[in-house]
A and B are shown apart, each in its own frame.
Chain A
Amino acid sequence: MSLHAQDDPELRAAQEARLREVWKPPQGLFLRWTDTNNDRVGVWYTLTAFGFMLFAGVLALIMRTQLAVPDNDLVSANSFNQLFTLHGSMMMFLFAVPMFEAVSILILPQLLGARDLPFPRLSAFGYWSFLLGGVFVAGSIFFNEAPDGGWFMYPPLTTRTDLSGLGADIWMLGLSFIEVSSVAAAVELIVGVLKCRPPGMRLNLMPLYAWYILVVAVMILFAFPPLIAGDLLFEMERLLNWPFFDSSRGGDPLLWQHLFWIFGHPEVYIIFLPSIALFAMLVPTFARRHLLGYPWIVLAAVGTAFLSFGLWVHHMFTTGLPKISLAFFSAASEAVVIPTGVQIFVFIATLWAGRVTWSTPLLYATGSLAIFVIGGLTGVMVAVAPFDWQAHDTYFVVAHLHYVLIGGTLMPLFAGLYYYWPLITGKKLSDRLGRIAFWMLFAGANITFFPMHFSGLEGMPRRVFTYPAELGIGGLNLVSTLGAYLFAAGVAVVCLDLALSPRRRPGARNPWGAGTLEWLEDPADDAHWGVRCVPLISSRYPIWDQKDFVKKVDEGRFFLPDAEEGRRETIITTVLDARPLSVVRLGTPSFKPMLTAVALGGVFILTTFHLYWAALVCAFATLFMVLWWLWTGTAEIPEKECKPIGHGMKLPLYISGAAAPGWWAMFITMMADATAFSGLVFGYYFFWTRHADFPPEGMDAAPGAFWPMVALAVALVSWALTVAARQLNAAGAVGVARAALAAGAAFSAYGVYAGLAGPWLSGMDPEAHVYPAIVWTLAVWTAAHSGVAVIMQGYALARSIAGRMTPKYDADVRNITVYMHFFALTALVTYATIGLFPGVS
């Protein structure tokens, strides 16, 4: 298909008709919800997160009303505790993080000139998990059963079942479920950015939004799993009475604080960086020039990501840790200011060098920058440990964090809303209403939160449902409450603006005159193909710089302008230089993601209500769904080896190994898994530093070295057999490879027994002391992975026997080998720790 062919309008029309047919969304009352296309799922995701934000905002308004005057009794202490816990938890877990995932799913494919992200069904699964978990957590307040231990859920208040009720379980299990969907989104976004860029879009040409998303998604992989590990320990204490946080049996409440804040501080940057990424898109548009200092933004994003993992103890400055430990974190907390400063000045320099055209999005960006700078400066203050000893857990910190999150997340999102609304709906929002709303929000935020700096230093602690009149902070609180209502009214004006949008006339294509790829979208056309053809990129702002770019894309003059085989497809390229590697067939609308989410949700929700048998049934249903989904939807052997994508290029339709998206997805998932595991290992060694004798006297004979060493040997053999199967299969020795997989599965199955035999046969009682509890935890974790290895090896074997895996088309065995690498590492660490460390210490 040469360039000339695309000169033929009839051919183009035929291509468009085929593409339209292939990408047509499913219709019908039920079927429409089986859609997996990013434009639909992204919109659902965004609207749901926005809805949760409004809900959590109303909770805050009730709180502010209660606190308007001293000694108020509008709501009871019990209700108030539920209100602030849910407000914080929802804003973090149901709004800020999902919102970034939602917006990214919505616009990232367009930004990268891709038809969709590599795993559309995974996005849909993530969405349904999020919706289900979110409704479960948020709905609990209507039954007066909402979590009431604060969004940080510090034990022992929350682990003692006599002091806390169902709410704690709802928080742990409901939000763990949502964390799963976050990790799923991280996998999707990382692979999307690294492997689905258009040809020519080398790393140095990637839109900055994609850089930020890449960085943030990687952060999720390292930040969320420690919390998942913490959740696991937490629920084992609540449901099984294993004493991880009970000091009377050797546990320590501080372990939770460590695990929580290893998640909790990077979390702040996880929600801040994507919002700044929106700045990085809209600032060049309204400065009418390229962003100045592109590598500086990369420095800032990557630098912030790393440093943000060295800050967690600054939430624990008052826990009595040695001052030297606090000081390390104080120093890192100051260092993280540097990349943040760099980002702000990159934007300022870009505006300075360019020609600024004022617009509503830029107004919001400016306002949020002002608010964020104030929050950042108070952040420098609280990073100074002595100051934090006064400010910690007072309204000063409430003021600080709201300045940071409103300036760093919420207002930039509103800027993004006004900027990208025309992209999604084809209609601009009202500049007039936008400006009115902006000033209400800006004034409201300052009037609400500025006085809190003072009420905090005047001695008002956080999380109090009332305060005495003698404290003299009634006036400050009244002002805060009035400000909160003004802010809420501003949000209402934004909502009104959105509600009026369907009645407005469609606007122009690319109304802001932006230069990046997402603005190729033509709102007049209702096509769902993402992009007419995958362009060849030679600039950071192709619409500005590349000649006749939009016209060429519209006429399908780049790659993959057709869907001859009636399949949804996009191009996979190399990580560094975006050289085309293959064409990948994407998942089509299916109810499987939704049903899998429902089944997995059942596991978490039924466990909350202690319905263990029903939960187990759901677990098997989940396993079945996942296998069915994989069996029918992945690593499909194509009907031909290669297909032409235009310009005389032919690309293979199947790749496996380290170049393939599936391999990357497995690798990334296992990184998250390994991080969660290191959270548990950290627990073991943390208890060792806490106790003079660990393992304690009398318990140190268990689990012994014998069984752990047997289990380790079994795991390593199973791993070696899998690696051998991969090599043999590739070499064409299919029969021997199958035998190796079968033997590997048998060894893995025995590994489950051998792993548990150590603590089991030595009679370790996990309820007696934290030492047996943590040993059991590590053993169960590793044994469970051994069980999953059985399934993996069996799956590859079945694929081979069913003819769905061959020496040439061998993605399955290559992907499970990645799993086995990580499994071998897990087994090595676990069994060396529980089997050998007691002897060493």
Chain B
Amino acid sequence: MRQAAVSVGLLAFLSGCNRHQSALATFGAEAEGIRTITIALVVGAVFIIAIMVGIYWRAVRAPEGQLTHKQGMRLVLWLGGIGPTILLTVILIFALPAMRPRVTAPGDLTIHVEGEQFWWRVGYERPGGGVLVAANEVRVPVGRTVAFELTGRDVIHSFWIPGLAGKMDMIPGRTNSLVARADKPGRYRGVCTEFCGLSHALMAFDVIAMEPAAFYAWLADQSRPAAGARQGQGAQLFAANGCGGCHAIRGTEHDARIGPDLSRYGDRLTLGAGILPPTIERTADFIRAPQDAKPGVRMPAYPQLSHQEARAIAVYLKGLK
């Protein structure tokens, strides 16, 4: 146990300071509640370990016959049977009510998220009706109840924003609901936690918690077409190479729903579902050889594009703000 104590200290030192994807650094009410439960359970566990070590130490050093048969049976009954029963009952009485999900009201924001190999289709229900489609980025208003409606398109994925709430699986043919409330604005990260194929490790997304006013302004702004250059070489190449066969860009003729929506690619914080910085260079590389960044990705490679052409498309996409 001394070893354990030393390693705890060492780990605190080693573990760095991940503030954006951790169940211990919370920004939502659900995750905070679970964090409290975690701390209580850990404290209890440490306490029990200490008792067990003490008892075992005593037991192996005791002279023969120090414990009679009757006393031994009493030890087993109380420490092995009744003690744990009481402890576990207490745990259950506290844990069961904590399972009840937050209650939603009719006006609450609903966000549909669909997991696909290996990206996220996101749809925000607009206050006025209709759904705003986006990809690989989830924005939530702080202080408001948000209901995520989750499903999987091809295989099972799992939606996890550690700082916000527990995870929920995205299962084809089923729609699961996860209700949560963010409390602290900031930029965070979510990941897929159900093994979903080759690039399961490379399936993440950005989470941005915003003040409600900013959020609703953003939502309204997103609904209009992007400002970026409609003309130019990049846009032509995008159309000529059939990118619009899979991707949609609002305000253009491209409205396919197979791949991620690219309407506001210029606003994205990451490329390839939360894995790469969305620079022009990286974007161009991704267009030519997505497999290099993401094994098993569904998007075909475009080796026929010259580096310069791919760059032109990337510039076009980056301009969509």
Contacts and interface: CB of A to CB of B under 8 A. Distances in A.
Genuine A/B complex:
yes
Contacts of B17: 472
Contacts of A467: 201
B15 interface: yes
B191 to A, nearest CB: 6
B18 A472 contact: yes
Contact of B197 (A163, A251, A335): A163
B132 to A, nearest CB: 24
Contact of A253 (B16, B60, B76, B171): B171
A248 B152 CA distance: 12
Q: Classify chain B's interface size.
A: 35 or more
B71 to A, nearest CB: 8
A390 interface: yes
A475 B76 contact: no
Contacts of B99: 323, 326-327, 330, 385-386
A378 interface: yes
Contact of B167 (A77, A247, A370, A393): A393
A387 B41 contact: yes
Q: Which of B62, B88, B196, B295 has the most CB of A within 10 A?
A: B88
Contacts of B160: 393, 461
Interface string B294-305: 011000000000
Contacts of B59: 348-349, 351-352, 356
Interface string A331-346: 1001101100111111
B80 A342 contact: yes
Contacts of A475: 14-16
A157 B197 contact: yes
Contacts of A517: none
A457 B201 CA distance: 16
B75 A348 contact: yes
Nearest to B274: A468
Interface stretch (B48-56, B234-242, B278-286): B48-56
A320 interface: yes
A210 to B, nearest CB: 21
Nearest to A250: B173
B15 A458 contact: yes
B176 to A, nearest CB: 3
A385 B192 contact: no
Contacts of B192: 461
A355 B63 contact: yes
Interface in B78-122: 79-81, 83-85, 88, 91-92, 95-96, 98-101, 117
A381 interface: yes
Contacts of B96: 327, 330-331
B224 interface: no
Given A253-B171, A349-B59, A446 B7 contact: yes
Interface in B23-66: 23-24, 31, 33-34, 37-38, 41-42, 45, 48-49, 52-53, 55-56, 58-66
Interface string A11-32: 0000000000000000000000
Interface in A445-499: 446-447, 450-451, 454-455, 457-459, 461-468, 470-476, 479
Contacts of B211: none
Contacts of A200: none
B224 to A, nearest CB: 33
Contacts of B199: 77
Interface stretch (A170-178, A262-270, A288-296, A579-587): A288-296
B194 interface: yes
A678 to B, nearest CB: 24
B226 interface: no
Contacts of A646: none
Interface stretch (A99-107, A148-156, A551-559, A820-828): A148-156
A247 B176 CA distance: 15
Nearest to B61: A356
Interface in B164-197: 165-169, 171-174, 176-177, 189, 191-197
A111 B125 CA distance: 69
A78 B75 CA distance: 52
A345 B75 contact: yes
A793 B4 CA distance: 64
A354 interface: yes
A83 to B, nearest CB: 13
B92 A450 contact: no
Contacts of B246: none
Contacts of B168: 318, 320, 389
A370 B56 CA distance: 10
Given A344-B80, A384-B91, A157 B165 contact: no
Nearest to A254: B171
A81 B198 contact: yes
Interface string B195-207: 1111111000000
B195 A463 contact: yes
Interface in A222-252: 247-248, 251-252
Contact of B18 (A330, A341, A471): A471
Nearest to A317: B166
Contact of B21 (A156, A335, A337, A459): A459
A479 B14 contact: yes
Contact of B38 (A341, A356, A387): A387
Contacts of A479: 10-11, 14
B92 A157 contact: no
A150 to B, nearest CB: 5
Interface of B is mostly: mixed
A292 B73 contact: yes
A451 B11 contact: yes
A319 interface: yes
Contact of A464 (B18, B37, B62, B200): B200
B22 interface: yes
B101 to A, nearest CB: 7
B14 A320 contact: no
Contacts of A472: 15-18
A386 B34 contact: yes
Contact of B193 (A247, A337, A462): A462
A341 B84 contact: yes
Given A356-B60, A464-B201, A156 B155 contact: yes
A289 B63 CA distance: 13
Nearest to B198: A77
A784 B154 CA distance: 35
A501 interface: no
A386 B155 contact: no
A471 B42 CA distance: 23
Contacts of B75: 345, 348-349, 352
Nearest to A249: B173
Contact of A459 (B62, B100, B155, B191): B191
A457 B22 contact: yes
A78 B198 contact: yes
A76 interface: yes
A611 interface: no
A390 B167 contact: yes
Q: Top 5 nearest A-B pairs by Cβ distance? A: A389-B166, A247-B173, A472-B16, A320-B176, A345-B80
Given A373-B48, A390-B34, 19 more contacts: A157-B196, A252-B174, A318-B166, A323-B101, A334-B91, A337-B88, A342-B80, A349-B76, A352-B75, A373-B52, A381-B42, A386-B34, A393-B160, A450-B7, A450-B11, A458-B23, A461-B191, A465-B201, A476-B15
21 contacts: A157-B155, A157-B196, A247-B173, A253-B156, A288-B64, A337-B88, A346-B76, A351-B60, A353-B69, A353-B71, A370-B1, A384-B37, A386-B166, A389-B165, A390-B162, A450-B11, A457-B23, A457-B38, A459-B21, A470-B18, A479-B11
Interface of B: 1, 3-4, 7, 10-11, 14-18, 20-24, 31, 33-34, 37-38, 41-42, 45, 48-49, 52-53, 55-56, 58-69, 71-73, 75-76, 79-81, 83-85, 88, 91-92, 95-96, 98-101, 117, 150, 154-156, 158, 160, 162, 165-169, 171-174, 176-177, 189, 191-201, 275, 295-296
